[in-house]
Amino acid sequence: MVASGKSLDRPERNRLKLAELDGDVRLAVAAAIDECGSLGIKLLITEAYRSPQRQDALYALGRSQPGAVVTQARAGSSWHQFRRAADVVIVRDGELRWEDDGYTVVGAVGKRCGLVWGGDWGWDQYHLEESAAHPISWYRGRYGLAKAAPDELLQR
Ligand SMILES: [Zn+2]
């Protein structure tokens, strides 16, 4: 996780992170960032693509490893593995705002752009995904993760 917004070049980081996403998702997330920006809400992408190894390392936090639980998804169960999800944080006055009333606007704008907003699940207000093009099993096959993720673990 990034520690501070002050040292971050937001447009450059967003450009690099957007490049990790599938083309249709990249356009939708970029549109959401632009529209939020026009409403005075600056967004920084903290994560886009996650390798299966990174997803499993995150899943271990708060379980087999010290720390707080940060995800409900093992490798192969997150849309981040399939380049179809991005996590964003609001930046105000150079500070990352993990708590901010603006996330409801992020959700509304994201949905207008065709994305699913994790805030609707009650716990992941930073998360935007496109998960309607194909079932996740299609992506698991494409990425060689078909055996990695039992369906009952399907989470973000
Ligand atoms: Zn996410």
Residue scoring higher pLDDT (81 or 156): 81
Does residue 121 carry a pLDDT above 60? yes
Question: Structural domains in the chain?
Answer: 10-148 (3.30.1380.10)
Averaged pLDDT for residues 31-58: 95
Q: Answer whether residue 78 shows pLDDT above 70.
A: yes
Q: What is the pTM of this model?
A: 0.85
- Ligand 1 center from residue 38 Cα (angstroms): 23
144 CA from centroid of ligand 1 (Å): 21
* 77: exposed, middle or buried (Cβ count in 10 Å: 0-12, 13-18, 19+): buried
Q: Looking at residue 153, what is its pLDDT?
A: 46
pLDDT score of 148: 58
Residue with structure tokens 């995800």? 71
- Tally of CB atoms within 10 A around 133: 12
Ligand 1 center to 131 CA (angstroms): 12
Span 49-62, pLDDT tens digits: 999 899 999 999 99
